[in-house]
Amino acid sequence: MGANSTLITGDFLKITVPPPTLIPMVIPPIPLLGTSSKILLMGMPVCVDGDELPAMLKSPMPYTAPPFVTPGMGSWQIILQSTNKTSKGKDSGKPMLLKGATFQAKFTVSSPAMQPTPAGPVPDPVAVKMCTAQFITMQTACTKS
């Protein structure tokens, strides 16, 4: 359906992490779970504001950033653009999520990865890893239900 497809349960969030940082849990696209209580599309709940951060990304997760090969931990924040949300159509006051344009995902380090050295471990100095993200929809056409 293109750039403005409404997202539903079963669509995906794909986060691209710039090298050398490696966050294994986000290498494959992550399925979205729509929480709309009123609107179904193709029989699936529509994704609304707040559904852009799937449950599996709400807990801290390990990362490395060679030469910092001893894993550290960090958490995600998704920064949507206006093209990723409906401006008029809403469900219970929340905008619905749209495929829209590429947007940013921010990985904030809570415990830095370490580089082992003979003098002792050296922490990764980069506390925020800015990544790009996009929604992937499996829809090929818009259907009315």
The predicted-structure confidence for 42-93, as pLDDT tens digits, reads as follows 899 999 999 999 999 999 999 999 999 999 999 999 999 999 999 888 888 8
The arithmetic mean of pLDDT across residues 116-140, rounded, is: 94
**143 occurs within a structural domain:** no
Question: Has residue 93 been placed in a domain?
Answer: yes
Report yes or no on 61 lying in a domain. yes
Q: For residue 32, what are the domain limits?
A: 12-136
In a domain, 141, yes or no: no
When divided into structural domains, the chain yields a total of 1
How far apart are alpha carbons 92 and 79 in whole angstroms? Answer: 22
- Compute the distance between CA of residue 144 and CA of residue 60 in angstroms, rounded to an integer: 39
Question: How confident is the model at residue 3, as a pLDDT?
Answer: 56
For the question of whether the overall pTM of this predicted structure is more than 0.75, the answer is yes
Beta strands in 51-92 (DSSP E): 61-65, 68-79, 85-91
- b/e per residue, 93-127, with b = 16+ CB within 10 A? ebbbbbbbeebebebebeebbbbeeeeeeeebeee
40 found inside a domain: yes
